[in-house]
Amino acid sequence: MNAVTIATSVLTLVAGVGVFLIACTMLSANLESLGSGKLKKLFAKTSKSKLLGVGVGTAATVAIQSSSATTVMVIGFVNAGIMTLAQAATVIFGANIGTTITGQLVALGLTGGSSLSVSVVFAALAGVGAFTLAFAKNERIRQVGGILAGFGMLFVGLSVMSGAMKHFSDSDSVKNFLAAFRNPFLLVLIGTVLTAVVQSSSVMTSMTITMVVTGLISLNQGIYITMGSNVGTCITALIAGLTSTKNAKRTALIHLIFNVSGVVLFMLTGLFLRMGGINFEYVLGKIFPHVPQMQLAMFHTVFNVVTVLAVLPLTNLLVKLVTKIIPDKKNATAESDEPRLHFVDEYMLKTPPLAVQQTKNEIMRMASLSMENVNLACNVICNLDYEKTDVFRANEIQLNYYHKELVKFIVKLLKCELNEKDRIYLSTAIRSITDLERVGDYAENIIEYADKLKEAEKTFSVDAVAEINGLKELLNSLYEKTESAYKNCDRKMLKRAYEIEERVDAVTAEMGESHIKRLSDGVCTPEVGAQYLALSINMERIADHYINVAKTIKAYS
C-alpha cells in the first residue's frame, strides 16, 4: 500500500466510525423519545424478581440501543432512592445482554455474499427515514423517521468501515503487524482502552466484527478484544457514579465487577481450551461454520448470558461486597440532609427524554416540600408551636437550592436534542420552579408573623384560627388538584383547581370582613389584626402560584 492509499483508508475508517457513532446516538435518542414514558413503569417492575429485573434491563437496552444509557438511568434511579442496589444490579445484568443485539444486527448486515447484501437493504432505510423527517409534521411520525434514519445509517457506517478494513486486509504488512498481538491479556487491554475512548461497546464490537470478516484479525483476537470492550463500557457508569450518592457509586462498581468477572471466567475457559489443544475459534467454527461475523456476534451474546447466569445467584453477596468497599460514613445522616437534586444529575443529560421526565419528578418533589412548609407555618402561627421549625428550615434550604440548581440543569437540558413538546415543557418548568420557590417565601413570611405575635405575647382568636385552618384545607385541596393536573396533564383537574382557587379568593375576602367585625367588637387588637390580614393575603398569593404551576399544562398537553 502506498501513502495515498493508506491515508485514504484511514480517513475512510474514521468517516465510517463517525457515521456509526452518529447513527447510534440518533437511534438511541429517538427510541428514548418514543418510549421514555414507559421506561420508568418498566423499571418499577424490577422489584418482583431477579429474573424479571434482568428481563427489564435487556428489554430497555434493546429498546434504546445503549447499555451505557440504561446504566446511567439506573444510577439516576438509585441516586433518587427509587431503586435498590439489588434491583439495579439485575437491570445492569440484563443491559449487558441487551447490548449484544447490535452485534447480531451487524453480523446479519455483513451476510449476503454474491446476492443482494442485507447491509445494503438496511442502509436504504436511512433514505426512508430522511424523507420522513423532511416531510412529516406529526412529532411521533418524525420520531419513527429518526429511528429508521438512525438504523439505516448504522449500516451505512458499517459499509464504509468494511470498505476501509478491506483495503487494510489487502496489505500483508498491516496483517503481519496486527497478527503480532496474540497475547489474550494484551488484546483484552486493547479492547478496554479503545472502548473507553469511544464510550460505546456496540461501536467497538461492530468494528471488531468487521475486522474479523475482512480477515484483518483472527476470530480469536476478535474474541478477546470483545471481552475487553465489555470492561471498557463501564467507564461511562463509573464517571456517572463519581459525582453521585454512595449507592450510585456502588451501582457503578457492580457494573465493573460484573464485567470483569465475565472476562476472568472466559479467560480461564480459554486457558483450559488451550490446554486441550483447541481455542474459542475452533469451537465456534464447528458450531457456526463459514460465518465469522456470526461466530463473534454469538460469542458476545453467550459471553454476557453465561456471565449473568453465573453472577445472578450471587447478587446479594455482590451488593454486600460493594457496600463494604464503599461503606457509609458515620455522619451519613447529616450528609443525607444536605440539599441536592434527587432525580437528576449531569450524566442524565446523556438521555434527554428521560431527563425531562425526571425533571418533572424534581418539580413535583419541590411542590410537595412547599406545601409541607405552608402547613408547618400555619401550625406555628395558629398554635405558636415551634417544635418542627428545623424541618421547616431544612425544607426552605432545599427549595432555594432547587431554585438555583434545577434551573441550571434545565438550561443545560434545553441545549440537548429534544422534541418540541419536551422543549416547551422545560420552558414552562423554569417559571414553575420560581412559583414554588415563592410559595416557600410566603410560608417564611407566615413564620415571621408568628414571631411577631409571640414577641407581643398575643394569639389569634378561636374564630380566626378556625378561619385560617379552613383556608389551609382549601390550599391543601388546591395543591392536590394541582399535583394531579401537573403529573398527568389532566385538564379536568385543572378546571377543578381553578374552582378551588376562586373559592380561596372568596374566603380571603370573607376573612377581611370577619376581621373588621372582630375589631369593631373589641375581640381583636389592631396589632394582631395586621398579622391576620397579612397572613390571608399571603395565603391567597400561594394559591395564585399553585394555579400558575397547574395551568402550564395548557402549553404542551
pLDDT per residue as tens digits for the range 131-143? 888 888 887 788 8
pLDDT per residue as tens digits for the range 281-299? 889 988 988 888 899 999 9
Mean pLDDT of the chain: 84
Q: Whose CA is closest to 63, among 90, 91, 88, 86? A: 91
Four-CA torsion 319, 322, 327, 332, nearest 10 degrees: -50
pTM of the model: 0.69
Sign of the CA dihedral with 516 first, then 518, 522, and 527 last: negative
Euclidean distance between CA atoms 429 and 386, whole angstroms? 33
* Own/partner pairs, 447-453, CB within 8 angstroms, 24+ separation: 447/377, 447/380, 447/381, 447/389, 447/392, 449/381, 449/531, 449/534, 449/535, 450/377, 450/380, 450/381, 450/384, 452/531, 453/381, 453/384, 453/528, 453/531
pLDDT per residue as tens digits for the range 19-57? 877 877 776 667 666 655 555 566 656 656 788 888 888
∠ CA 206-173-168, rounded to 5° = 35
Whether 333 shows a pLDDT value over 50: the answer reads no
Euclidean distance between CA atoms 388 and 380, whole angstroms? 9
Q: Whose CA is closest to 347, among 61, 72, 32? A: 72
Pinpoint the residues of the chain covered by CATH 1.20.58.220. Answer: 351-556
Q: Whose CA is closest to 88, among 63, 116, 54, 64? A: 54
Contacts of 148 (CB under 8 A, 6+ apart): 125, 126, 128, 129, 132
Predicted pLDDT at 378: 93
Contacts of 29 (CB under 8 A, 6+ apart): 146, 150, 352, 353, 417
Instruction: Identify the band that residue 412 occupies on the pLDDT scale cut at 50, 70 and 90.
Output: very high
Predicted pLDDT at 82: 66
Q: Whose CA is closest to 102, among 224, 221, 207, 212? A: 207
Query: What is the arithmetic mean of pLDDT over 500-510?
Result: 93
351-556 falls under which CATH superfamily?
Phosphate transport system protein phou homolog 2; domain 2 (1.20.58.220)
Predicted pLDDT at 551: 95
In which element (H, E) is residue 122 found? helix 118-123
Whether 368 shows a pLDDT value over 90: the answer reads yes
pLDDT per residue as tens digits for the range 203-245? 788 889 888 888 888 999 999 999 999 898 887 667 766 666 6
Q: Of 154-163, 421-430, 458-467, where does the model show the most confidence?
A: 421-430
